Amino acid sequence: METPERPLRVAIADDALLLREGIAKVLADGGLEVVASVGTGVELLEVAARGGLDAAVLDIRMPPSYRDEGIVALEEMRAQGSTIGVLLLSMYATPEYALRVMGAGSGTGYLLKERVSEPQTLVRAVETVASGGSVVDPEVVEQLVQRTRADDPLSRLTERERSVLELMAQGYSNGGIAQTLFLGLKTVETHVRSILQKLDLEESPEHHRRVLAVLTLLGAR
Amino acid sequence: MAPGRKGRIIRRTIVIALVVAASLTMEITGFLATPGELRREVSWTTLHAIVPLVFAACAGVAWAIGPSRLPARLMVIFPLVWIPLSFLRVIEHVAWLWPFVYGVHLWWAVLTGILVLLYPRGRLIDGVDRWIAGIALVTSVGYLLGVLLLGQPSAAVCDCTVNPYLVADAPGVFAIIDVGYRAIGVLLAIVIAVRLLVRWVRGSVPARTVAFLMPIALIAWVITLAIQAAAYASGGADLVLDTVSLVAIASIPVSFVAGIAHARNMRARVADLMRITREGADRGLWAESLARTLRDASVRVYWWDEERAGYADASGEPLDDSPAARRSDHGLLPVSSPTGMPIAVIRHDRVLTDNMRLLDGVSSALRLSVDNGRLRSEIERTLEQVRQSRARILEAGDEARRRIERDLHDGAQQHLVSLGMRLRLAANQARDRGVEPLGVELDGTILMLNQALKELRELAHGIHPSLLSSGGLALAVPELAGRCPVPVEIDVQAEGRLPEVVESTAYFVVSEALANVAKHAQATRGWVRAVLVDGELELVVRDNGVGGASADGSGMLGIADRVDAVGGRFRLDSEPGAGTTITIRIPLGRFTST
């Protein structure tokens, strides 16, 4: 963990200049230090290679092919051993991308671009990934939960357990869930154990693995 | 077989039998009625009796194969007017009858002459022929009148009772009529012979070889007729000459029948050529069939070669068009299309030039053949152009949708997101300055904006799923299946990326098919499988619903059209109660991969 005195150092990559500047302003207003602002994934990789970064915010669709350059850059950074927090922004909430992002390792996040109009959400997401946590956009989770499957294991969950599961999928820690749902930590832990048992999932020591497992389960039902 | 055919054959057989019987009766009764010392030789009489039999037999054949019925009718009437003079002795005392019989006893010659004129088409071809036939008929009727009013045969012919129709006893005038009639007959016979000879000389070799009997028979007959006429005038008879005359007359119907049989055969062979043409024969087979049709093994076909601007045969050997080659005993028949484009040159034996009808038939067949081939290839070319343009339109449509989605993504969506961000900043500033109501107002605006963004996102996704562009079928199909209210099992084994148009077609098919599953199938499960087999994408969308889907429904038609446009195949199996299975196969070879 960084010391609270030093602000988090963040780099931004987005080919849309307007958004890039807006994001930079939101993050700066949120107390973060934007050290670089570039237009492509390749440029961001160069910035990251110079070191000193705590987190990066990347658009997924960037030049040259406008497909998944942001995720490719993330996977490249992880392959090079970088563990900085990486938050991917996308115009679409695509579960398949969320799974790929979570699959790249800990300290990753996937948010809809329109979350930039909620500065706290964006800043908190950057802080979460920078500290090794996971963030998944609620819209993605909503899509996954709405998918219909035969013999749906989710039908075995209670209403409360369902809400807890959705927050688990968004990357919330047990503490975060307790805070969000106004529950005691113990209660949340009981719910989580019950959910994992009912869904035949194993609790993992690494937080992002839990997110990945839940997302995978939701997607594969 | 037509129901009337059998009856017609029986009727004809009866008619022929009756005329033969009548003819033989006249012959035999005449022979018996003639006093022994005046009788002709038995051999001559036999031969004389055989002539009408030959005509009757040929009438039967001509009826069956002739180009018209007239020749056969003339041949069947012939035995009735082939009246031996000796028959007069049988009826010499039937005063009202014998003048009529005597008056028509030479009509057989008129029938024979007209029969020759009818050869080979079964009708009188030009005005001269019609004049000849008319003169013959008019003089014959005149002769009959002459006999009725003035006739009284000599005692050497019969011991006839007095002619009851006699108006004047003028043996001199009657003798002139008698001789004059025969002289006109001889003259007309000579004219007919000449015309026939001219036609024969102009005819083609094959036609000549078979039909040579006719002119020979006619010439023999004309000569004997002339001599006989002279002999009649001088009152004498020669057995040898008479015999030759009978053989010559008998050979005329035989020649006629042989000639039309040959022409029929020739037509049949040209018809064969037409048949081969219709079946789309290749050039080698065509030249071979042509040689067979023309009975000319030296026939060569030189086809027009657009590139070389010259004629060459199937093996590529060019046509020798030099003056020396032109002077050879080969004729050249150029064939061109109705629009004047050269098609081919047929090199044939020069003698075939005479048979223009045959060559006309042949060149028509060739023209038809080439026109057929040309039309076929034109249709194929047009169809291929249509296919290609349809595929291009489809690709252009896909490309346009991709571009619109990208424009939305990079333009309107980005701008609205930025706008949301600025509104948030404004709301924060409003709160900082203590204008809480404005902050609340702006919060509401942001919510509305985000709702609009969500709708825009759905719209853009509907126009073109960005996931298909970036992740291909492997990502886009599961996402599509996830939106279907019916649980769908997915098995996409398409390794790597496929050509864009194939991916978008497959995506469209899955999307439409799953929409059908959701709306109509009443299914509880669905399956989507995509695999690559033999360079083709095979996509199967199946459900366990009620089945009974119609291939004519707009959804299915849309799928079939899309698949067809990229050269793929579409199959629908939807027995009622057995679920619905849509199978498509799209060949990948014709598209460049992205």
pLDDT digits (tens, 9 = 90+) for A117-145: 898 999 999 999 999 999 999 999 988 88
What CATH number should be reported for the domain holding residue A162?
1.10.10.10
- Assess whether A113 and A213 both reside in one domain: no
Looking at residue A74, which CATH number applies to its domain?
Answer: 3.40.50.2300
The pLDDT of residue A33: 95
CA distance A18 to A13: 12
Taking contacts as CB-CB distances below 8 angstroms, the residues of chain B near A91 are: 409, 413-414, 417, 457, 460, 466
Do B237 and B283 lie in one domain? The reply is: no
Q: How many structural domains does chain A have?
A: 2
| Chain A 151-210, residues with CB within 8 Å of chain B CB atoms | none
Residue that is last in its domain, among B433, B463, B493: B463
**Does residue B84 sit in the same domain as residue B200?**
yes
Which pLDDT score, from 0 to 100, does residue A144 have? 85
**Given a cut of 80, is residue B371 above it in pLDDT?**
no
pLDDT value at B291 more than 50: yes
A96 vs B: CB within 8 A: yes
The nearest CA of chain B is from the CA of A137 a distance in Å of 14
pLDDT of residue B593 exceeding 90: no
- The reply to whether B169 and B233 lie within a common domain is yes
Out of A54-63, B215-224, B520-529, pick the least confident.
B215-224
A110 and A88 Cβ atoms separated by less than 8 Å:
yes
pLDDT of residue B119: 76
Q: Are residues B497 and B394 in the same domain?
A: no
Contact with chain A for residue B357, Cβ under 8 A: no
Asked whether residue B333 falls in the same domain as residue B235, the answer is no
Element (H, E) at A36: strand A33-38
Mean pLDDT of chain A: 89
DSSP A119-140: HHHHHHHHHHHHTT--EE-HHH
Please tell me the distance from the alpha carbon of residue A47 to that of residue A199, in angstroms, as a whole number: 42
CA distance B97 to B109: 21
Is B74 among the domain residues? yes
Asked if the model's pLDDT at residue A203 lies above 70, the reply is yes
d(CA B1, CA B5) in angstroms, rounded, equals 7
Q: Which of A113, A136, A159 is the last residue of a domain?
A: A136
Q: Which domain holds residue B25?
A: 3-266
Q: Which of A25, A29, A91 sits opposite B413 (nearest CB)?
A: A91
User: Which one of A25, A57, A61, A92 would you mutate to disrupt binding with B, by most B Cβ within 10 Å of its Cβ?
Assistant: A92
The number of folded domains in chain B is 4
Q: Are residues A86 and A128 both part of a single domain?
A: yes
Residue with tokens 């006699």: B166
ipTM score here?
A: 0.87
**Residue located via tokens 């035989």:** B254
Question: Nearest residue of B to residue A90 by CA position?
Answer: B409
Mean pLDDT of B72-88: 89
B417 and A94 in contact by Cβ < 8 A? no
Of B424, B475, B482, Cβ closest to residue A119: B424
Task: Tell me the percentage of chain A whose pLDDT exceeds 70.
Answer: 95
A85, A116, A136 - which closes a domain: A136
Domain coverage including residue A161: 147-220
Q: Residue B120 pLDDT > 70, yes or no? A: no
Whether residue B67 sits in one domain with residue B123:
yes
Question: What pLDDT, on a 0 to 100 scale, did the predictor assign at position A147?
Answer: 77
Q: Is the pLDDT of residue A159 over 50?
A: yes
Could you tell me which chain A residue has the CA closest to the CA of B406? Answer: A66
Q: Report d(CA B45, CA B35) in Å as an integer.
A: 14
DSSP class per residue in B27-76: HHHHHHHS-GGGPPPHHHHHHHHHHHHHHHHHHHHHHHH-SSSHHHHHHH
pLDDT digits (tens, 9 = 90+) for B485-524: 888 999 998 777 889 889 999 999 999 999 999 998 899 9
What pLDDT, on a 0 to 100 scale, did the predictor assign at position B208?
61
Lookup result for tokens 């019925």: B69
Q: What is the pLDDT of residue B467?
A: 87
Under 8 Å between Cβ of A113 and A97: no
Partner A contacted by B431 (CB < 8 A): no
Residues of chain B with Cβ-Cβ distance to A89 below 8 Å are none
- The answer to whether residue B326 scores a pLDDT higher than 90 is no
CA B465 to chain centre: 56
Sign (positive/negative) of CA torsion A161, A167, A172, A176?
A: negative
**Among residues A110, A136, A162, which one ends one of the domains?**
A136
Secondary structure of residue A59 in the 3-state scheme: strand
Instruction: Give yes or no for residue B153 having a pLDDT over 90.
Output: no
